[in-house]
Structure 1
Amino acid sequence: MTASVGEATPFDTRVVLPWPADVAQTLRPLQRGPYDPCHRRDGDVVWRTSRMGSGPVTYRIRQDGPSGARCLAWGPGAEEFATGLPALLGAGDDDSGFAPEHPLLAEAHRRLPGLRITRTGRVFEALVPAILEQRVHGVAAFASWRRLVTRFGDPAPGPAPRGMAVPPSADTWRRVPSWEFHRANVDPGRARTIVRCAQLGDTLERLTAESPQRAQHRLRSLPGVGVWTAAEVAQRAFGDADALSVGDYHLASVVGWSLLGGPLDDAGMVDLLEPLRPHRYRVIRLLTETGGYGRVPRRGPRTAITDHRHR
Structure 2
Amino acid sequence: MTIAPAVVASGAEAVEWVPNGPYSLARTIGTLQCGPHDPSFIVQGPDHWLAFRTADGPVTLALRQRGSLNESRVQATAWGTGAACALASVPRLLGADDDWSAFDAAEFRATLPDLARKGRYLSPGLRLPSSGRMLDTVARAVLEQRVTGLEAKRAWRYLLVRYGDVAPRAGDVGPAGLRLPPTAEQWRRVPSWEWHRAGVDAQRSSTVLKAAHMATGLERLAALPGGDAVRAGLRSVSGIGVWTVAEVVQRTHGCPDSISVGDYHLAAYVGAALTGRRTDDAGMIELLKPWKGQRQRVVRSLYASGFRKPTFGPRLSPEDHRRR
Q: TM-score range by the shorter chain?
A: over 0.9
Question: For residues 194-241 of structure 1, what are the alpha-carbon distances to aligned partners after superposition, in whole Å with 9 as ceiling and x for unaligned?
Answer: 111101122111112323122012211210000000111100111111
Query: What residue in structure 2 maps to residue 56 of structure 1?
Result: 58
The equivalent of 1:143 in structure 2 is 154
1:269-288 → structure 2 map (5 Å cutoff): 269-288=284-303
Amino acid at match of 2:309: V
2:135 is the counterpart of 1:124: yes
Deviation (angstroms), 1:42: 2.6
Look up the match of 1:44: 46
Instruction: Please tell me whether the aligned partners of residues 21 and 89 of structure 1 are also in contact (alpha carbons under 8 angstroms).
Output: no
State the Cα distance separating 1:32 from its structure 2 match. 0.7
Task: Identify the match of residue 297 of structure 1 among 293, 310, 318.
Answer: 310
- Report the 3-state secondary structure (helix = DSSP H, G, I; strand = E; otherwise coil) of the residue aligned with 2:287: helix
Q: Which amino acid aligns with 2:98?
A: D
C-alpha separation in 1, matches of 2:212 and 2:248: 15
Give the counterpart letter for 1:277 in structure 2: K
Q: How does 1:142-161 map to 2 (within 5 A)?
A: 142-157=153-168, 158=170, 159-161=173-175
SS at the partner of 1:145? helix
CA root-mean-square deviation = 1.4
User: 1:300 deviation in Å?
Assistant: 2.4
Aligned counterparts of 1:7 and 1:202: Cα–Cα separation in 2? 35
Residues 166 and 179 of structure 2 are in contact (CA less than 8 Å); yes or no, is this contact kept in structure 1? yes
Partner SS, residue 48 of structure 1: strand
Cα offset, 1:68, TM superposition: 2.0
Alpha-carbon distance, 1:43 to partner: 3.2
User: What TM-score, normalized by structure 1, do the two folds share?
Assistant: 0.95
Counterpart Cα distance in 1 of 2:159 and 2:302 = 31
Q: Residue type matched to 2:24 in 1? A: D
Q: Distance in 1 between matches of 2:16 and 2:294?
A: 28
* Deviation for aligned residue 1:115: 0.2
Partner residue, 2:96: 91
Q: Is the Cα contact below 8 Å between 1:122 and 1:237 reproduced in 2?
A: yes
Paired residue for 2:24? Answer: 22
Which structure 1 segments of 5+ residues have no match? none
> 2:258 aligns to what?
243
- Which 5+ residue runs of structure 2 have no aligned equivalent? none
Deviation at 1:7, TM superposition (A): 8.0
Structure 1 distance, partners of 2:264, 2:213, is 29
Task: Name the % identity.
Answer: 44
Give the distance between the partners of 1:77 and 1:289, measured in 2 at CA.
34
Q: State the match for 1:166 in structure 2.
A: 180
Find the counterpart in structure 2 of residue 78 from structure 1: 83
> 1:226 — aligned with what?
241
Tell whether the 8 Å contact from 1:14 to 1:68 is kept in structure 2 after alignment: yes
Residue 252 (structure 1) aligned to one of 249, 259, 267? 267
Q: d(CA) in 1 for partners of 2:166 and 2:100?
A: 37
Check whether the contact 2:120–2:305 (CA below 8 A) recurs between aligned residues. no
Q: CA deviation at 1:6?
A: 5.1
In structure 1, C-alpha distance between the alignment counterparts of 2:61 and 2:285, rounded to whole Å: 37
User: Judging changes above 3 Å, is the alpha-carbon distance between structure 1 residues 14 and 263 closer, same or farther for their aligned structure 2 residues?
Assistant: same
Deviations 1:139-165 (A, max 9, x none): 001100000000000112224311221
In 1, distance between residues paired with 2:302 and 2:82? 34
**Structure 2: distance between partners of 1:19 and 1:220:** 36
Q: Secondary structure at the match of 2:42?
A: strand
Deviations 1:95-151 (A, max 9, x none): 111133211111211221110000001111110010000011110011000000000
Residue 257 of structure 2 aligns to which amino acid in structure 1?
Answer: D
Of 209, 214, 222, the match for 2:223: 209
Quote how far apart the aligned CAs of 1:11 are: 1.1
> 1:17: how far off?
2.0
CA distance in 2, matches of 1:224, 1:80: 31
The answer to whether the 8 A contact 2:92-2:131 is kept is yes
Letter in 1 for 2:100: D
For this pair of structures, how many residues does the alignment match? 309
After superposing the two structures, state which structure 1 stretch, 141-150 or 50-59, moved more: 50-59
Matching residue within 276, 279, 295 for 1:264: 279
Label 1:266 to 1:95 Cα distance change in 2 as closer, same or farther (>3 A).
same
